[in-house]
Structures are given as structure tokens and as C-alpha cells.
Structure 1
Amino acid sequence: MSLLTHLLACAFGMGSWVAINGLWVELPLLVTVLPEQWDLPSYITIIIQMANVGPLFVTLMHRFWPGSLKEVVVIYVVVSVGIVACLLLAFLWDYTSPIVGTTHSTAFLILTFFLALVDCTSSVTFLPFMMQLQAQYLTTFFIGEGLSGLIPALIALGQGSGISSCANVSQMVNITSDNETMEGTIFRMETRYLPARFSTLIFFLLMTAMMVACLVAFFFLTRQPKVWELSQQQLCPSTIILNSFDQILEDDGGTGRGEGYSCPKSTKRPMETHPEKVSYSVAKLAFIYLLITWVSSLTNGVLPSVQSYSCLPYGNTAYHLSATLSSMANPLACIVAMVLPSRSLALLGTLSLAGTGFGAYNMAIAVMSPCPLLQHSQWGDAIIILSWVLFTGTLSYVKVMAGVILRSRSHSALVWYGALEQLGSLLGALLMFPLVNIYGFFQSADYCSLQCPV
């Protein structure tokens, strides 16, 4: 039963961000068809942040009308919406229409909003729901959340999404010399995209299947003995009650419920109840929440907007390896957190600084595009790939351990985790969107036709 529950928790976590992560890894193929081209990542980023209306609505409902929204019902609704949106995206992703005189991929952008609405809302529903299970399943949930990036990346890699090669092509031109015009031939390098092994339709159908697996896993998780007992006997209703920050600090027995709410003691054995509550001062809790906001702004808002600008100058292979290996770094960091957990705030702060340093290097390379450092050297390829992997890995470990720490505090602490995660993502996206789309601060690179000094 324990192994089965771990598998269910992993599949449930996998559905939290699999749809949006699927869009990111399919980008090399999408940008060759959709009219937004390499501006598409910044469009996706800002749409994701617009979808924060979902978690904001859930949070406000539970803050001012506690008990009006049932957590289990909300999860069923959002996952079902995700399944429908993924299915529609499989058939409508390349539909375009004119908007203010410019052609845009309207169906793709609208359905991306609904997928983002599902994934953003999962931050304030999926994680608090895991409070109803034993503590060891929380790390498994984070592993599943990491797999939500890895599995689509592996599928896209098998698909050959956006794989290209450089071809030497000839072009006839008119050459004027001494008032005479002659025809001549010039040769230039051009990027040729290889056909994918299977279509985007199949890719999005596979994403739909993963969302269905998430729904099935959640159904069986709600039938686990502890969750079933709570829901049937209504000892502790499975609704989110969002307390104020001060209430999180109160000694409420780790339940995260406000004063005056009485919950009968569990009849389980001591080892099956929540772990012993760890006491943290207001300053330490504020530091943890600050780390969550900062790390989320980098990993979900700032750096994803410029990954193509930082990697494509080194070639298509470097871009694919950085995207795939950094996706693998996420679940590996979760496994490390399970095997070597550390609640040391000094360590988490140090890892956050290290991850920020790697992110700063990635950003600097993106600013230098299309002619960054070590462009014609294998060292340049290796460093940018390693930097993206270490950036993702270090900050993923910080996020997991922050979740484990707050899980030992209260249910409400996990709700605040999700809310601040989305806030950080929003701030990062709002910062990057005008830089990428309005001011054109970053320049795209075509590796085959680059004219950079060696």
C-alpha cells in the first residue's frame, strides 16, 4: 500500500505542471509554424502569469468565505479542464487569425491560458491536499512535479522537435559592375529543420493522457484510508482555510486552522500522525517565504523567457541538451532532497545564491546574443548547458526543502507556499515581457547564418 501510494502521489504531482512544461519543450517545433516565432516564449510566460487569477480566486474565497470551496472538488474541476484543453490543443494548436492587423495563433494562446489556469491553481490546491497524507509522500509529490518537466522533454527529444542542420544553399542575384548588370550565384548557410518523427497532434495527445493519469491517481488518493476517513466522518473537512500570516505562526497543533476550530484527535498510531512541529521565528519564516518568492521568480518567470536567446547562439544541439538536461535536474534534485534532506536555512540560502549566480550567467549570455562568449568553442557549449542544469538543480532543491519545512508547520503554510510561488512567477514575468516583446532587448540568433568574430 505504501509503494502504491508513492506511485499515486508521483502521478498526481506529475499532472501539476505537465501541460505547460509540454509547451516549453515543444517550442522548437512550434516556433517554426506559429507566427509569433521566437517571441512565443515571452507570450507564454505572460499568459501563465495572467492565469494567476485562478489561485487568487481560490485564495480569496478561502480567506473570506472559508468552507465555501471544497478542495477535492476544485482539484477535480481544474484537472478536468486541463484534460479538455490539452485535447483541444492537439487539434487546434496551429489555427491563426488576424488581431489588429497582425496574424496571431489565437487558438494556441487561448488554450494556453486555460492550461496555465489549471497549473497555477494546482499550486494552491495540490500541495495543500498532500497535507492529508503522511509526510513521506510530499517529497514523492515533488518528484512527480519534476517528472512533469522531464517526461515531456524526453518525448520531445524522441520526437526530434525542432532538430535542424546547416545547409549550404545557392541563390541567383544580379550583380552591377561598370554600368553592366550580370547574373551571379552566391552561396550562404541556411537553417533547415528536419521533419519530426511524429506530429504535434500525437505529442499533445500524450500530454492529454498524462493529465488523465493525474485525474485517476487523484481519485485513488482520495480513497486512501486516512483521506477517506477524514472525508467520510468529516472529522477534519478537506477544505483550505487560509489564515493570516500571524495565525500561521501560532501553535495550532500543526493543523493550520484558526482559533476556535476544533478537530478531534486522530485515532491513528503516533507514527501515522503529522511529524512533530518545528518552531521557527517570524524572521526565519519570512526568510523562507522570501526564498520561495525569489526562486520562483527566477525559475518560472525571468529565465524561461530568455532560454532560447542564451542557448541558440551555441547551436540547436546545445539548446536541446540544456532544455532536456535541466528538466532532468528537477526530479533528480527532488530525489537528492529525499535521500539527503537538510532543513538548514544557511544551506538553503547558500544554494539560492549559487543558483542565482548560474541564472545571472545565463542572463548575461542572453544579453550578448547573437554573439556571446566562447561561441565557437566547445567550452562555451558545455558551460551554458552545465549552467542551466545547475541553475535548475540547485533552486529545485531549495523549493522542495522549503515545502518540507512548511509542511511541518501547517496546512495554511503550504497554501502560502503556493501563493508566494505564483507571486514570484508573476513578478518575474512582468519584468521580462516588456524587455523581450516591447523594447526588443534580446536579439535572436540563427546559428547557421551568424556573422560573429571568431
Structure 2
Amino acid sequence: MALPVHLLACAFGLGSWVAVNGLWVELPLMVTSLPEGWELPSYLSVLIQLANLGPLAVTLVHKLRPGLLKERLVIYSLLCVGVLACVLLAFLWDRTAAVAGAPHSVAFFSITFFLSLVDCTSSVTFLPFMTQLPATYVTTYFIGEGLSGFVPGAVALVQGVGISRCLNSSQGGNRTEGSPWASRTEYLPPRFSTGVFFVTLAAMMCVSLAAFVALNRLPRTYELSTEALAPHAVASVASGLEDAAAGAHADAMKQGGGASEHSRFQLGLIYFLVLWVNAATNGLLPSVQTYSCMPYGNLAYHLSAALASVANPVACTVAMFLPNRSLLFLGALTLLGTGFGSYNMAMAAMSPCPLLQGSVFGEIIIVLSWLLFTGLLTYIKVMVGVILRDRSHSALVWCGATAQVGSLVGSITMFPLVNVFQLFKSGDICNTECPL
């Protein structure tokens, strides 16, 4: 295998979801600074999914005006927008404006929308572009995609976002004689600012852009491994959408029958896994992470947000060295991962008094549950991506589209439950009294 090309594929994947992943791990700090508070994750989930207008617009342009847009041009544009948006966030993330008589994070939401356009559109452009390389580099790309969450998570751990302590009124100097004891939450300052964190994200997007430039300069006769660059790569998204069946058959012929054959039922199951896994990881659970973790303390929320990102590249690496395409196995992992997700959701529903609140054991369980939930479902994402890559370029396009539909359904389902019906309750760990 060509190590330089693996490094380029990994670096290219680094820019796929870096912005959105970075926003999630920085949330423990932002929820204490922005007016939306604990509801910020649900707003963010919906905003990210509204950015599905990006891939939809690209697909419609290719459908109505074939040849007008090229896949590479779209990717170049996306990465440049990503760099610019991260830089703007570094300076404007905490600016607020009055909307309907209340302060809202207008600048943050506006810039985040454009960042989300980059990440959502990457699902139907970055991965299909990787079909120009042999299948082994697709897995390396997924490792880079995982690192797009791990690196911001590691930076957030160093930053120390959202760490707090409880102080009684005497420590704050506010207690008067005869008044009852009271506690308040004091948030410890991070080691460096949120602006510096967003500059780090901009640097990661620059690395991805440089890697993409380098990948496009590779000569098409260059032997990457035992396979040459695939000669059947398609330059636009629409071409894949228009000829899924023909693409799968052509790939099978060109690979000498190498593409896996699946029945209609099996293909339906594969795409259902894509739909459900993305609905859970990108829509349903992120919307309530504050409610499931904050009752255990800011440290638990901080660790669950940052360390769960470690599970992503670890799962991708495991998939690279220990792949298992068995649909029965992947189905079992889906049930197991869904079980951990259900626990997280149950703790959110029980907020502000979830199980084992106030105990170290409860904090450990909730952090591990988020780690395992993320890791197991990430492994499934990688394996279904590899399975569909072996079928055709168009199968990967549909995989990306299905992933975005799942994410959209998940976030739209949770938004009214969190913000309209307010089924989830917030609470201050320093002042909430729960029954033993």
C-alpha cells in the first residue's frame, strides 16, 4: 500500500465533519454562555439538518443542468467555505441579537448553517470522490472522518471546557445572618478561549483542502497498491443518482465479479441500518445529551462529549483491521448500540434526577454508555459504507443521501419534544434535590 496516499486520504477525510464535530465537543462551554442554554443542542441538531438543502441543491443542478457542476469544483468550494466559516466563528460566535423580544445567538446560528452545508454536502461528494481510489483507501478516509471528531475532542479536553464546582453562599460572600444555606455553580475558566478553538478547526479544514489538492494531482497511471486508480470514477453526483442499477452491474464486471451480491431484502436492510444509525447518532441522541449528562455534573458532560469522539476513529481503525460484513453481525451490533442509546435517552427523560445521580458510579456509566453508543454505531457506518462501495459509485451516493434523511428525521422528531412540549427538564446540580 502507498503510505503517502493513505495519509492524503486520511487528511482529506479530516475536513468532512470537523466543523459539526467541533461544535458538539465545545457545547459544554457554549451552553453556559449563549442564551439558549440547555436547549442549544436541539437547535443545533435542526440547524445542521436544514443544511441538507446543500446536497439537495447540488443534486437538482446536476439533474436539471447536467455538466454544469463538477464534483471536484463542489468539493473545492465546500472546503473554502468551511475555512472561512470557522474563522468567522472565532470572532463572532458569542454575538447575540434580539429576536421576538428575546436574545438569540444569531451570528452563531447563521455561520453554523454554512458550516453544516459543508459537512452535509460532503456526504454526497467526498465519499463518492473516494471511489476513484481502491477500496482500501475508503477505510482510510473513514479514519480521517473519525479524526475529524477525535482531534476537536482532544483539543476540548486540553481546553477544559465547561468544568464547574459548587460553592455555598458563604464562599461567595452573599449569605446574610439568618438566611438559609444555598449553593451556586461556578464555572472554571478554560485554558484557552473558544475563539482559539475555532481557529484550530479552521486549520484542520486547511489541511483537508491541501490534501484534496494533492489527491487531484496524482497521475492516473500511478500504482496505488495492487490496483490502479479506478477508471470508472464519475465526476458528478447526479450521474450516480441517475443510474444506480447500471452502476452496480458495471462495477461488478470491472472488478471481475468482486462486488458483493445482495438480495433486495438484504439491500433494504443495509439502507435501513444507514437510516437508523444516522438518525440515532446525528439527530435523536445529540439533541438530549445535555439532559442525559448535565445532571451528573459538568465534568460528566464534558467527558461524554469529548471522549465519545475518541470512539469514532477507534471504531474506524477496528473496522480497517477487523472487518466483518455479516449482516447478522451488524444487526446484532445495531441492537447493542441502540440499547446504550436507549439508556442515554432514558436518563435524559429522567432529568434532573436520573439513576445514580450524585455518585461516581453513575457518572462513569453515563460516560461509558455514550462511548459505546458512538463506537458501535460508527463501526456499522464504516462497514455498510465499505459494502456499498463495492457495489458502485451510485450506491455510495445513495448511502450518503440515506444518511442525511435519517439525520433529518431524527433531529426534526426531537426538536418539538425538547423545545415545544418541553418533555426534558433541566436542573442545576448544585441546587437540585433528588429523592434517594
Contact (CA 8 Å) 2:248, 2:392: kept in 1 or not?
no
What is the aligned counterpart of 2:283 among 301, 306, 310? 301
Aligned to 2:95: 95
Task: Provide closer, same or farther for how the CA distance between residues 237 and 315 of structure 1 changes in structure 2, counting only shifts above 3 A.
Answer: closer
**Could you tell me whether the CA contact under 8 Å between 1:150 and 1:327 is conserved in 2?**
yes
1:350 and 2:329 correspond:
no
Distance 1:85 1:440, change over 3 A: same
Note the 1:56-95 alignment, pairs <5 A.
56-95=56-95
Q: 1:433 to 1:248 in 2, by over 3 A?
A: farther
Is contact 1:351-1:394 (8 Å) kept? yes
Q: Following the alignment from structure 2 to structure 1, what is the Cα–Cα distance between the partners of residues 157 and 112? A: 22
What does residue 384 of structure 1 align with? 366
User: Structure 1 residues 173 and 76, CA, compared in 2 at 3 Å: closer, same or farther?
Assistant: same
Gaps of 5+ in 1: 175-182, 256-264, 266-272
Alignment pair present for 1:393 and 2:375 = yes
The question of 1:209 aligning with 2:191 is answered no
Cα offset, 1:236, TM superposition: 5.4
Change (3 A) 1:235 1:132: closer
Relative to structure 1, is the Cα distance of residues 421 and 336 closer, same or farther in structure 2, using a 3 angstrom cutoff? same
What value does the CA root-mean-square deviation take over the aligned residues?
Answer: 2.3
Query: How many angstroms does 1:251 deviate by?
Result: 1.7
Q: Residue 329 in 1 paired to residue 311 in 2?
A: yes
Indicate if the aligned counterparts of 1:248 and 1:413 stay in contact, CA closer than 8 A: no
Corresponding position of 1:276: 258
SS of equivalent to 1:243: helix
**SS of residue paired to 2:213:** helix
State the distance in 1 between where 2:179 and 2:256 align.
Answer: 76
Contact 1:168-1:187 at 8 Å conserved across structures: yes
In structure 2, C-alpha distance between the alignment counterparts of 1:274 and 1:448, rounded to whole Å:
64
Contact 2:127–2:396 under 8 Å retained in 1: yes
Match of 1:434 among 410, 416, 419: 416
Encode CA deviations 1:308-338: one digit per residue, 9 max, x unaligned: 1101111122212222221111111101101
- Runs of at least 5 residues in structure 2 that lack an aligned partner in the other structure: 224-230
TM-score by length of 1: 0.90
Counterpart for residue 227 of structure 2:
none
> Structure 1 residues 318 and 275, CA, compared in 2 at 3 Å: closer, same or farther?
farther
Aligned length: 428
SS of residue in 1 equivalent to 2:103: strand
Cα offset, 1:244, TM superposition: 5.1
Structure 2 counterpart of 1:359: 341
Do 1:132 and 1:226's aligned partners in 2 also have CA atoms closer than 8 Å?
no
Q: Percent identity?
A: 58
Could you tell me how far apart the structure 2 residues matched to 1:90 and 1:371 are? 35
Of the structure 1 ranges 378-387 and 113-122, higher mean CA displacement relative to structure 2 is found in 378-387
Separation in 2, partners of 1:8, 1:239:
21
- Normalised by the length of structure 2, the TM-score is 0.93
Instruction: Please say if residues 62 and 242 of structure 1, whose CA atoms lie closer than 8 Å, have aligned partners that are also in contact.
Output: no
Moved more, 342-351 or 369-378: 369-378
Aligned to 2:194: 200
| Residues 20-419 of structure 1 mapped to structure 2, 5 A cutoff | 20-170=20-170, 184-226=178-220, 238-240=235-237, 241-243=239-241, 247=245, 251-254=249-252, 276-419=258-401
SS at match of 1:166: strand
Greater C-alpha radius of gyration: 1
Which string of whole-angstrom CA distances, capped at 9 and with x for unpartnered residues, describes residues 99-140 of structure 1? Answer: 111111111010000000110000000000000011111111
